[in-house]
Amino acid sequence: MNVSTRWSIRTRLTAWYVSVLAVLLLVFAVIVFIFQYVTLTRQIVHDEMQDAVTVEGLLYFDGRGQLQLRQDYYSRPQSHLLVDRLMEVLDLNGTVLYRSNALDNQSLGGGLVPGEGDGSSNERIVRLRDGSRVLTISHIHGMSGQDFVIRVGYSLRPLRDRLWQFVWLLVVALLVTILLATITGQWIASKAMSPIGLMADRAEGITANNLHDRLVVANPRDELGALAAVFNHLLERLEQSFQQLQHFTADAAHELRTPLASLRTVGEVALSETRPAEQYRDAISSILEETQRLNHTIDSLLLLARAEAGNSSAATENIALAPLTMEVSNMLSVLAEEKEIELLLQDEPHSHPAVYGDRSLLRVALINVLHNAIKFSPERGIVRIAFTMGDGLISITVADAGPGLREDEFDSVFERFYRGRGNSPNHGNGLGLSIVKLIVERMGGSVRFDPAAEIGASVILQLPIASQT
């Protein structure tokens, strides 16, 4: 496991931001340090130049021809200071003519450097015999018809000390800043993260029993607020499907109970007194018929469960719709013939568009729709099956000339265990159309009743046309 996953987001955020800050501060400190160094060095050189100029005016030859520095020139206050300066005056042969006392008889940079004092090389750092480093400038000066090289130098020790101090100051300031930044960073990060903790606590408390609970949305406009809102939507959908499932389970139990009740009653009545064998046979037959009904309901429930899984099941493929419809109408044609109903297949598409899904499920959907149409169609009626295509969809319309549906039934007929008005003698288990709806929707399509149908009911299945592969 690497560091980034071992640490909390809070710590990681802080670490990132503190390291970025540290790097920036370091760059800043280096720049300031360089600037300071350059400025101070320039200052020294500048001072030395001025000193050199002053010195020029103070030099004189004494009676014995020795070069001396005038020390009684009080009108220039710096002159006193100049006595302590590191200074050397050489003639052009390199003979030392004057050496200030502060040098303690050490050479200030040794012999003459070629071209010394005429310009470019008049600034250099030299090392004295005692090891201390000195920044010197050289300057050529003419006096009494003779040229001298005046060297003036400042020890670099005070500069170095000062810069060290500065570095220490920077280091301490840097460390203190980073420490403060870490502490405040942690604090800010935990403050920013605190809604997440609250959300987690709240979410942890949500179970099947209190699915109506929602996360607190502190500020719907910020990211965490948006996250909480998303979670709340999720909870809402969960709650809805959970409720649906509960209703469905209750409905299913009810639907199973009814045939069970009739099984029980038939059995109990049959055994309540001695009867002729014929009546027993009748009772047992009735019980068997009822178990078949029960079995159908269970099969339908399982089919619903399979359809719920929809296209996630392995058995998906491209299905040519027209041949499948033909197959289904052939299978059911005997029912139509019995009622002398004409099954009319219209507008069969020339190109054979395919849809994508589980073939056996789609087949069940088509069987249910067509079976319904035949069931509700009057004798000698016509059931029309028509295909239309457009917008990447293929629609199959199955229209009968039966009693049709009231407008308020258009949606409720798709509900599970809905049985419609009155008691049709050949009623099913009330799951047929909800199975159709589920199958079609899982394939990315839709099913509805055409409100514009003038006679009978006209159901329209719309399915997305599969991309040809």
Q: What does the binding site for other proteins look like in residue numbers (CB under 8 A)?
A: 282, 284-289, 291-292, 295-296, 299-300, 303, 331-332, 334-335, 338, 360, 364, 367-368, 371, 426, 428-429, 432
Nearest CB to other proteins, comparing residues 144 and 423: 423
Give the list of residues 6+ apart from residue 293 with CB closer than 8 angstroms, or none. Answer: 259, 429
Least Cβ distance, residue 360 to other proteins (angstroms): 6
Nearest CB to other proteins, comparing residues 202 and 296: 296
Cβ burial of 85 (10 Å; 0-12, 13-18, 19+) is buried
- DSSP code of residue 113: P
Least Cβ distance, residue 191 to other proteins (angstroms): 53
Query: Please, what is the Cα angle at 43 between 38 and 48, to 5 degrees?
Result: 125
Nearest CB to other proteins, comparing residues 225 and 428: 428
Distance CA 3, CA 1 (A): 7
Please tell me the total number of residues recorded for the chain in this structure. Answer: 469
> What distance, in Å, lies between the first and last C-alpha atoms of the chain?
43
Nearest CB to other proteins, comparing residues 211 and 283: 283
Contact yes or no for 357/319 (Cβ under 8 A): yes
Strands 133-143 and 123-127, sheet pairing:
antiparallel
Least Cβ distance, residue 236 to other proteins (angstroms): 32
Nearest CB to other proteins, comparing residues 159 and 459: 459
Least Cβ distance, residue 387 to other proteins (angstroms): 21
Least Cβ distance, residue 289 to other proteins (angstroms): 5
- Six token digits for residue 178: 């980073």
Distance CA 378, CA 403 (A): 8
- Six token digits for residue 63: 């009676």
Least Cβ distance, residue 243 to other proteins (angstroms): 28
- Six token digits for residue 40: 């101070």
